[in-house]
Amino acid sequence: MVKKLILSRTRLFNVRRDMRATHSFFYHFIIVELIPLLQDKVFLDCGCGNGIWGYLMRMDKRGAEGYMIGLDLNESRLKICKLHKVYDDVILADVAHLPLKDKTVNLTLSSEVIEHLPKERGWLLLNEVERITNERAILTTPNNPRVNKCCEGSIATADVHKSAWSPKDFEPKGYTVYGIGVKARGPPRNLIFQAAKLLLFTPLSFFLPSLGELLIAIKTFDD
């Protein structure tokens, strides 16, 4: 009983911490619309954290009818995912070195992971995602976020931004890039401000991603 209570409180704390990234919280429903139904598909959540995307895939994209994999380097977060049966399988691994065979995943999602890697390791992540995926890869990242210079190039301190990414990084590799919201300073935890940025500016930044606060990069692979 005590163990369950501790795990529940830990999970609640982690979910609250994830939701402080208000752009993620507000933008989920837009990204979900860009993901196809997952029945009879192999889905990889690359850098799954506490499994927020896994829950959404099960609820909205028939993920329970496919095979869902959560992969992360944080063992405690994977334990939360395993406890709540978010995924069919969880893998403890480095996102820059995916332990999966070539072209064995139908859809790979890596949401707000790449900016937490040094730039050279971010390129490795992109290469690995393309190696294992046979239908569609979707990556999201802030548009040119401020990089924490004291951690630039470090693989430690996973929760800080170590690299900045723009549409020009993804487009030469065959990705179609969309934007969400708008890059504008303001109170990051003010829900009204965040909602206003989303609703008012996404119709423009979706097609002019350089204006967006968040980028969605999508690549479709030939059979």
pLDDT of residue 148: 66
User: Residue 150 above 90 pLDDT?
Assistant: no
- Output the average pLDDT for the chain: 86
Give the DSSP letter string of 154-206: -SS-TTS----B-HHHHGGGT-EEEEES----S-TT-HHHHHHHHHHHHHHHT
Residue 156 in domain:
yes
Q: Note whether residue 196 is domain-resident.
A: yes
CATH code for the domain in which residue 74 is found: 3.40.50.150
Count of domains in the chain? 1
For the stretch 70-124, pLDDT in tens is 999 999 999 999 999 999 999 999 999 999 999 999 999 999 999 999 999 999 9
Q: Is residue 42 part of a domain?
A: yes
Say if 16 falls within a structural domain.
no
Comparing 3 with 213, which gets the higher pLDDT?
213
Parent domain of 185: 2-11+23-220
Q: Which residue has the higher pLDDT, 2 or 47?
A: 47
17 assigned to some structural domain? no
Indicate the pLDDT class of residue 156, thresholds 50, 70 and 90: very low
| CB distance 68 to 106 below 8 Å | no
18 domain residue, yes or no: no
Residue 28 contacts residue 199 (beta carbons within 8 Å): no
Top-confidence residue, 183 or 207: 207
